[in-house]
Amino acid sequence: MKKLSENTTDLLQEIKTEAAELPQNKRRDFMLNGLKLTAGTALATAVGKVVAGQENLPPNVPTWQKSLGRGVVSVPYGQPSKHEANLIRRTVEWLTADKIASISMSPLHKMKGIITPSGLHFERYHGGVPEVNPDDHRIMINGMVERPLLLTMDELMSFPSESHIHFLECPANGGMEWRGAQMEALQFTHGMLSGSEWTGVKLSTILQEAGIKPGAKWVLAEGADAAGMTRSIPLDKALDDTLVVFAQNGEMLRPEQGYPVRLFTPGWEGNTSVKWLRRLEVGDMPWAQREETSKYTDLLADGKARKHSFVQEVNSVITSPCPENPIKRKGLLQLEGLAWSGHGKVKRVDVSLDGGVSWQTAKLKGLVLSKSLTRFGMEINWQGEPLLLQSRAVDETGYVQPTLSQLREVRGTNSIYHKNSIHTWQVQTDGAVNNVQLG
């Protein structure tokens, strides 16, 4: 009898703790059900059949199998399981003056494969998300063209289109850590990065429809947001692989990603892929817009600044283990990470367990596509020893991801943008993982 009462006390405490995490309106029901359950469980435990908290585990049949589930279209647009409520975008509030001109990061620590669910794609707004009505939206092509054009969405989508898988990265990704490590989570050190399948019309097709005049060298892309976001794109890139995108991962773009239409410049810094695209102007020189002079230029130690630094050079990071994914058990461990390059395909990724003293080549997993997130992995046998984990990616141009010391040596610490250095996670003997930098 004494044992039974102890179990019951524990169970009551557990119910109370769990209830504290629920919304108030659900809390009462939960407590009532729990108390009913306690009475039954206490009795069952007494005869050795059900152990508290294991009602759904074998040999018992789980509760969800003993009643019918919900039917089709009970949720017409599917949502993630309620048990995945922690899988969300997050921001670091002190980074910006307010949330309208700000950034959020993707939860890289929980993501699989190379495609980011559209609802988890990182956000970057310069004037908030405009609510564009596609029926009233027009795309204007003007400047040095034979025929200035005005296109409806329907007309745009009637051009031949293609789909490509590419990463999109803000050049400020990692930019908080030029001077030192200060983010205690992968989501904040590398989360201004996502990967999607993008569908759209080649910009070259649209520019040819308008007829490019001789002497043209640049294209200005302009958004329909409150910031009237603008970037000058060299004509070579515009005629190469730049897309005018209307769909992402099989559906129309999300408002956060530029609904109903955005530019997409594969491999280039995210802000050149101007969202809510309303106008393309062809000209013979860059427009020196605010976002390509005062911002998105890389200030070096000597006070001079690099401009038109469009390409996101090769980069990589280990996504597990990481601060959010500590090591939970000794033995074989699946180390995983992401690598990407704005210059093309990832050719190789090396991993170091000892802070860069020695390196082993990891396996590239799944699709290896140009200017796309690429998965790498390696199996290691961990027996509780401290580690300094690093990954080093090489792309098909032969460019090797640099160390932070190498970057600082040539750029100083004031660049903000384009910090693509090798990242270090420190694994402690208990499996906890910290963000550190090596000197």
**Residues 380-399 contacting another protein, CB under 8 A:** 388, 392, 394, 399
Beta carbon nearer to another protein, 68 or 357: 357
Smallest separation, CB 72 to another protein (Å) = 26
The binder of another protein chosen from 9, 208, 334, 429 (CB under 8 A): 208
Q: Residue 365 CB, nearest distance to another protein (Å)? A: 21
Q: Alpha-carbon distance 26 to 120, whole Å? A: 28
Instruction: Check residue 234 for interaction with another protein (CB under 8 A).
Output: no
Are residues 265 and 342 in contact, defined by beta-carbon separation less than 8 angstroms? no
Q: Which of 125, 107, 253 is nearest to 194 (CA)?
A: 107
- Candidates 78, 215, 303, 331; binder of another protein (CB under 8 A) is 303
**Site mask for another protein (CB under 8 A), range 320-349, x = bound:** ---xx-------------------------
How far, rounded to the nearest angstrom, does the alpha carbon of residue 41 sit from its chain's CA centroid?
44
Stretch touching another protein by CB under 8 A, among 46-54, 239-247, 287-295, 374-382: 287-295
Task: Draw the binding track, 157-196, toward another protein (x: CB under 8 A; -: no contact).
Answer: -xx--------------------xxxxxx--x--------
Contacts of 127 (CB under 8 A, 6+ apart): 100, 101, 225, 226, 227, 228, 229
Instruction: In angstroms, give the least distance from the CB of 206 to another protein.
Output: 9
Residue 366 φ/ψ region, left for φ over 0, alpha for ψ in the -120 to 50 degree band, beta for the rest: left
Q: Give the tokens for residue 301.
A: 């130690």
Of 12, 19, 44, 438, which one interacts with another protein (CB under 8 A)?
Answer: 438
Residue 70 DSSP symbol: -
Kindly tell me which of 60 and 343 has the beta carbon lying closer to another protein. Answer: 343
Letters for 345-364 (x = contact with another protein by CB under 8 A, - = none) are -----x---xxxxxxx----
Among 48, 71, 76, 439, binds another protein (CB under 8 A): 439
Q: Lay out the site mask for another protein across 35-74 (x = CB under 8 A, - = otherwise).
A: ----------------------------------------
Asked if residue 308 binds another protein (CB under 8 A), the reply is: yes
Work out whether 31 is an interface residue with another protein (CB under 8 A).
no
- Residues 68, 75, 285, 332: which binds another protein (CB under 8 A)? 285
Residue whose CB is less far from another protein, 31 or 438:
438
CA distance 310 to 426: 32
Among 47, 68, 73, 85, binds another protein (CB under 8 A): 85
Of 231, 11, 19, 192, nearest to 105 (Cα)? 192
DSSP state of 190: H
* Main-chain phi, psi angles of 110, to 5 degrees: -110, -5
**How far is Cα 225 from Cα 396, in angstroms, rounded to an integer?**
37
88 lies in the binding site for another protein (CB under 8 A): yes
Residues 130, 228: Cα–Cα separation, whole Å: 11
Token pair listed for 395: 């792309």
Interior CA angle at 15 toward 11 and 21, to 5°? 150
Which span sits near another protein by CB under 8 A: 111-119, 142-150, 241-249, 331-339?
A: 142-150
Cα 380 to Cα 362: distance, rounded to the nearest angstrom: 11
